[in-house]
């Protein structure tokens, strides 16, 4: 299996987007000792926020899954940027946080979060398996339906 995130995604029929740039006073990722922290990533299409709205209102569960996949693709773009597209330093995905804008009665956040989880496992293999939190929230930046963040373990 390739050590290139770009090549692994290509094998899945996906294209790694360019990593987004911060829009405020923060950085996209930081490495501390053997951990890589990646800030919240939203679903982007052609560099613009996609899947606007809330699950259980204007968006279906399937659209939520697609939003989570797209946000995870942005997450992988940041991982690739941080590691110079070389997965040889990646030990494993430690944690995935998935935030889902949803109505008060929507209770399928876990199913939506599977879109992001499945993409990480499909793209990274066993190192993509992780613990996860899936949380329903009232709103997210730019009105998107999903935001994801992650912590990865790296080799020194």
- Spatial contact of 127 and 91, defined as CB atoms under 8 Å apart: yes
pLDDT-flagged residues of the chain (< 70): 1
Q: Which two tokens stand for residue 76?
A: 């992988």
**d(C-alpha 21, C-alpha 27), whole Å:** 8
For β-strands 48-49 and 44-45, DSSP reports them as antiparallel
Tens digit of each residue's pLDDT (9 = 90 or more) over 44-80: 999 999 999 999 999 999 999 999 999 999 999 999 9
CA 45 to chain centre: 14
CB neighbour list of residue 100: distance below 8 Å, 6 or more residues apart? 55, 64, 68, 106, 109, 112, 113, 134, 135, 136, 137, 145, 146
Domains of the chain, each with CATH number or no CATH: 36-154 (3.30.1330.40)
Nearest to 155 by CA among 79, 86, 89, 77: 89
What pLDDT does residue 2 have? 74
SS3 label, residue 32: strand
* pLDDT (0 to 100) of residue 1: 59
Distance CA 117, CA 54 (A): 20
In this predicted structure, what is the pLDDT of residue 3?
82
């Amino acid at each position: 299996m390739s050590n290139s995130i770009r090549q692994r995604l290509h094998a899945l029929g996906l294209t790694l987007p360019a990593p987004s740039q911060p829009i405020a006073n923060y950085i996209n990722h930081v490495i501390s000792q053997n951990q890589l922290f990646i800030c919240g990533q939203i679903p982007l299409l052609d560099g613009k926020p996609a899947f606007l709205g809330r699950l259980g209102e204007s968006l279906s569960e399937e659209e939520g899954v697609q939003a989570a996949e797209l946000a995870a693709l942005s997450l992988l773009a940041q991982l690739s940027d941080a590691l110079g597209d070389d997965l040889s330093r990646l030990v494993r995905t430690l944690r995935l946080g998935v935030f889902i804008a949803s109505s008060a009665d929507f209770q399928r956040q876990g199913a939506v979060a599977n879109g992001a989880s499945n993409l990480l496992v499909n793209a990274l293999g066993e190192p993509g398996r992780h613990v996860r939190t899936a949380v329903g929230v009232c709103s997210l930046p730019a009105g998107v339906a999903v935001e994801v963040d992650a912590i990865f373990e790296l080799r020194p």
